[in-house]
């Protein structure tokens, strides 16, 4: 981890600046700063991934595609306040992004014949309990969004499970970073759903953006440091 921080020192400083600017925009409701800083999240990560991997191979191309759809989702959500169609387009963009990530992680999963069966059972059971429970909690508040939210939750749970299934197939640092990022993505989206459909709270957007930025960062760094185990 120390070597990783040193290796990406310049980028980490840049991303820390973007992180702080984005949270400042959210805390003080500075619209222009939000519109500038939010797209920089995915753009900076796309540039890092491309420079570190040259996008060689299907894995890195699919993670890059996930970041592109993340960028689209960020832009749509910038204008989603008071406009349901922009929220739906943002939801759809992140849905496709999660599918891109899932398909990338699947490439690692199928790279070896043996499955960490105990880890797989834990991942499937935990995701099933959390996602079904949270959906049943949200359902009375969703109105016409019941089906889109259900589909979205199924897809992101598949992304988290596929991140778990990479165990014993890739180097430990890549596995840990991507799994942590996938879990943070799920947490960020869960808080977003609660904040939008159930009860908005004052620090909601700051928590959502903090966990989202950390998730995208960890997934990208995990992809950049990925090595398949023989």
- Residue 130 CA: distances (Å) to CA of 14, 101, 189, 190, 213: 35, 20, 13, 10, 22
**Over 90: is that where the pLDDT of 3 sits?**
no
Asked whether the beta carbons of 168 and 112 are under 8 A apart, the reply is: yes
69, 97 contact by CB (below 8 A): yes
pTM of the predicted protein model: 0.96
Instruction: List the one residue out of 54, 53, 60, 20 whose CA is nearest residue 37.
Output: 20
Give the pLDDT confidence of 154-200 residue by residue, as tens digits: 999 999 999 999 998 999 999 999 999 999 999 999 999 999 999 99
* CA atoms within 13 A of residue 143's CA, in its CB half-sphere: 6
Reported confidence tier of residue 2, pLDDT bands at 50, 70, 90: low
The full set of domain ranges for the chain reads: 2-224
């Amino acid at each position: 981890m120390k070597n990783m921080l040193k290796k990406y020192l310049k980028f980490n400083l840049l991303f820390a600046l973007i992180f702080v600017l984005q949270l400042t925009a959210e805390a003080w409701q500075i619209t222009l700063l939000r519109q500038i800083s939010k797209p920089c999240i995915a753009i900076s990560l796309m540039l890092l991934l491309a420079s570190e991997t040259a996008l060689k191979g299907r894995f890195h191309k699919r993670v890059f595609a996930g970041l592109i759809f993340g960028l689209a989702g960020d832009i749509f959500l910038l204008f989603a306040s008071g406009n349901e169609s922009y929220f739906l387009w943002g939801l759809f963009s992140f849905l496709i992004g999660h599918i891109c990530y899932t398909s990338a992680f699947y490439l690692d999963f199928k790279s070896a014949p043996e499955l960490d069966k105990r880890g797989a059972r834990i991942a499937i059971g935990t995701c099933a309990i959390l996602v079904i429970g949270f959906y049943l909690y949200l359902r009375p508040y969703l109105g016409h969004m019941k089906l889109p939210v259900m589909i979205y939750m199924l897809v992101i749970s598949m992304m988290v499970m596929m991140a778990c299934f990479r165990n014993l197939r890739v180097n430990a640092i890549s596995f840990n970073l991507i799994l942590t990022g996938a879990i943070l993505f799920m947490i960020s989206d869960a808080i977003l759903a609660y904040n939008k459909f159930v009860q908005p709270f004052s620090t909601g957007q700051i928590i959502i953006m903090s966990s989202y930025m950390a998730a995208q960062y960890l997934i990208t760094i995990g992809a950049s440091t990925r090595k398949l185990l023989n």
